[in-house]
A and B are shown apart, each in its own frame.
Chain A
């Protein structure tokens, strides 16, 4: 029994920060500034510990902790880096909304921290029970965050939908774990891999059903079609400020767990799951793109484009171990663009409000050129235009998928990317070339939003990530090159 605290240090700090915020709130009822400083200190400590973990992994190599429950290796630390960034950007973007919640600020903060810790655990968990608990910790926090603004009935609806469908997906995931346990007698991801590597399962039906149920459960979390149906309603109804965090964190955690489980535990069965993932990817890409084209609401558009992006990332996952650097690069850069876009959506509507018509963006380019410019950068990045990080991400997952023999999937993905230009560019055209609609209903959209300083920092960071990593992708690609879960 090894109490290897460094392997879960970031999670411990985040949970401690969440508890501290709650305790301070009970005994002192402090101002928002005190909460902000606690949150800032927690995040800075978390970043420091993650750098320490990276050093240790580079020096010593991968190591496991807590009787094999968690694995501290490059993918785990990269997921922690991405998620700390997601939490920091999401909190900064949502800060105005959180403060407007009044006494619920402390609970909101602790929910964000615990959700981040949960999804980090999904990235480092090396035991199916551990991964399931981590998934539930993260998901339950997100269900509550979706409904934290009880003032709006759409938020209530979003939270309830998210909860019911999410609970169903979790049940499917557990069922998959149970079937895998039934056929291998093991729960440790690495032990399952060793067992399946050394033994031949003569009647693998139970095992294969278990694998596919695990994939289905995780595909729900990453909004891959056809398990995406909750996403548009939740992204549209949940409080605008926090949606970016919710969408990004769940995607990162879901893909991290999927990558480790499939490539470590079921490496022997790659011939079986890679085809299934390929089909899932193709379906997500096509369906996400086609539905996104029809949307008239900006947040639904982002939700369906998220489905398409989940498909692109799945293309890399289907390529097996070689596709992983591309997957990490894609995830890291996509979440930056996603949070950036939702931040602007939150600025355009009321902070706790829901829904944002695309027509509200008419004339946005003239009214607030800086905001419109950064939104245009995110849209170009998501569409995969060269010189943006989105292009590099798509290029690397497509290359590896092609090498792995998924030529048809690459063709489908390329066609969908081209079709995707339509709705990303439509928004840019609306912003710059359409006259503003003057008779806007009051309260639906702020015509000329004034972002606060932290929001400006978040947007500047997201724009920088998109452009700099697009021009010099090796900065991040070298970093994730060896991030394989072994």
Chain B
């Protein structure tokens, strides 16, 4: 019962956030709506015992990615009047076509009696009761344990990969060709 109440409340937050993101005229409001969606999803992950995914959701998406979005919005300027002309004339028909195709596929599955493909109902799939495996433990503790035990070496190798990627970025970006620098100096 508690779960149901929580789920209804959180779904309202998630769907409301998504709607306000699409419908909001002000880009900052739209970003805030998306933030609400991401937070709501994070709490739903916690209910599903996927603590790690929840934390990643908050830190990476709600934290880093949303900050980037806001930076871009602020950078471009909020006050700028938005043009409501659609640049792509065929955009709406194309979207409608895709939606219709997906609906037709789902409808086809239902009509052909393969609804279980969508709901992944294991009993219906095989016609007999299969014992459902223990759901994976998504707590931070278990993920950390497997990261530092079984996957220690790949974890460290990822660190090396990140080092070499940043070294490469510095090498390629930091040293400007002298030619361009002198042109810049002349312009000043």
Chain A contact patch, size range: 35 or more
Across chains A and B, the number of contacting residue pairs, with CB separation under 8 Å, is: 81
Which interface residue of A22, A108, A110, A144 has the most chain B CB atoms within 10 A?
A144
Interface segment among B90-98, B135-143, B161-169: the answer is B161-169
The tally of residues in B whose CB lies under 8 Å from a CB in A reads 22
On chain A, the residues within 8 Å of B176 by CB distance are 150
Q: Is the CB of A141 within 8 A of B177?
A: no
Binds A, one of B2-10, B102-110, B151-159: B151-159
Interface of chain A, main secondary structure? helix
Partner of A130, one of B154, B165, B170, B171: B154
For residue A156, give the distance in angstroms from its CB to the closest CB of chain B: 9
For the complex, is A307 an interface residue (Cβ under 8 Å from B)? no
The answer to whether B167 touches A22, judged by C-beta atoms less than 8 angstroms apart, is: yes
If A127-B154, A129-B154 touch, whether A111 touches B171 (CB-CB below 8 Å) is yes
Q: Is the CB of A150 within 8 A of B175?
A: yes
B160 at the interface (CB under 8 A from A): yes
How far is B158's CA from A129's CA once the two chains are assembled, in angstroms? 11
Q: Is the CB of B177 within 8 A of A151?
A: yes
A140 close to B172 (CB less than 8 A): no
**Is B182's CB within 8 Å of the partner chain A?**
no
Q: Is B149 an interface residue (CB 8 A)?
A: yes
Given A133-B158, A151-B177, A111 and B168 contact (CB-CB distance below 8 Å): yes
Contact of A69 with B170 in the complex, beta carbons under 8 Å: no
- Is A19 close to B, CB under 8 A? yes
A121 to B152, CA, bound (A): 14
A111-B171, A144-B171, A150-B177 in contact; A130/B160 too (CB < 8 A)?
Answer: no
8 Å CB interface, A127-179 against B: 127, 129-130, 133-134, 136-137, 140-141, 143-144, 147-148, 150-151, 159
Given known contacts A66-B153, A69-B154, A129-B154, A140 and B171 CB-to-CB distance under 8 angstroms? no
B150 within 8 A of A: yes
Which positions in A face B, CB cutoff 8 Å? 1, 8, 15, 18-19, 22, 65-67, 69-70, 103-104, 107-108, 110-111, 114, 117-118, 121, 127, 129-130, 133-134, 136-137, 140-141, 143-144, 147-148, 150-151, 159
- Pairs A-B, 6 closest by C-beta atoms: A144-B168, A66-B153, A69-B153, A133-B157, A107-B171, A67-B150
List, sorted by A's number, 13 A–B pairs whose CB atoms are closer than 8 Å.
Answer: A1-B149, A22-B167, A66-B153, A67-B152, A104-B175, A110-B167, A111-B164, A114-B167, A133-B161, A137-B161, A140-B168, A144-B168, A150-B172
